[in-house]
């Protein structure tokens, strides 16, 4: 969609800070603090960012971003639509990290996989006795699990989706790779 390309291009001219700026703008135009914006508020964002698209293009763009068809854009829908696609280098790093987590090699990551990779003994809530090892592992796993289906199983696509969000705020491929290598000991 040409209007989405225009929007992304204008935002990414500022690098990852463009996404942050547009995210801040979301909060500014969300006057009723509903955590979502309607078409009029979206139009205001486009106007403030000086993106030249017509009314019909704007409505089509808004509709394409409104994944749940609610007539409003949640912050997540908004940011997800704006983030640039992952390049091959970043996808490779994400794939390597997923393979590190998937100890059993069955194509999904579960609490059982994490028990072999993730040590909870220094987690503050484990140390305090507030959470069990299982609860700590599940909370960690849930950070990668799909918001709509927290089933305790993380697929490679859910892992890619998570890191696509992280990636959109990192301009440098080199820095992204370094971060992934350090986090996952690749």
User: Has residue 149 got a pLDDT over 90?
Assistant: no
Q: What is the domain range of residue 101?
A: 88-184
23 and 76 part of one domain: yes
66 and 103 part of one domain: no
pTM assigned to the model? 0.76
Q: How confident is the model at residue 45 (pLDDT cuts 50, 70, 90)?
A: confident
Q: Is 168 helix (H, G, I), strand (E, B) or coil?
A: coil
Bridge partner list, 73: 37
96 and 77 part of one domain: no
How many C-beta atoms surround the C-beta of residue 7 within 10 A?
A: 22
What is the per-residue pLDDT for 179?
95
Mean pLDDT for the stretch of residues 10-32? 77
Antiparallel, parallel or unpaired: β 73-74 and 36-37: antiparallel
Domain closes at, from 49, 82, 115 = 82
Measured between alpha carbons, how far is 24 from 141 in angstroms, rounded to an integer? Answer: 28
User: Has residue 153 got a pLDDT over 90?
Assistant: yes
Asked whether 94 and 160 are in contact (CB, 8 A), the reply is yes
69 and 120 part of one domain: no
């Amino acid at each position: 969609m040409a209007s989405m390309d225009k929007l992304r291009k204008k935002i990414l001219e500022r690098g990852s800070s463009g996404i942050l700026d547009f995210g801040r703008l979301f909060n500014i135009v969300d006057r009723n603090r509903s955590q979502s914006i309607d078409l009029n508020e979206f139009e205001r964002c486009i106007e403030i960012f000086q993106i030249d698209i017509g009314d019909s293009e704007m409505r089509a763009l808004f509709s394409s971003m409104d994944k749940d068809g609610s007539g409003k854009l949640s912050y997540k829908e908004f940011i997800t639509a704006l983030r640039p696609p992952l390049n091959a280098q970043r996808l490779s790093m994400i794939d390597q990290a997923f393979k590190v987590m998937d100890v059993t090699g069955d194509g999904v990551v579960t609490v059982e996989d994490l028990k072999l990779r993730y040590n909870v003994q220094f987690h503050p809530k484990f140390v305090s006795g507030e959470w069990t090892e299982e609860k700590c592992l599940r909370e960690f796993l849930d950070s990668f699990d799909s918001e709509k289906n927290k089933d305790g199983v993380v697929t490679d696509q859910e892992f890619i989706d998570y890191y696509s969000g992280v990636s959109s705020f990192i301009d440098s491929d080199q820095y992204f790779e370094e971060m992934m290598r350090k986090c996952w000991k690749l």
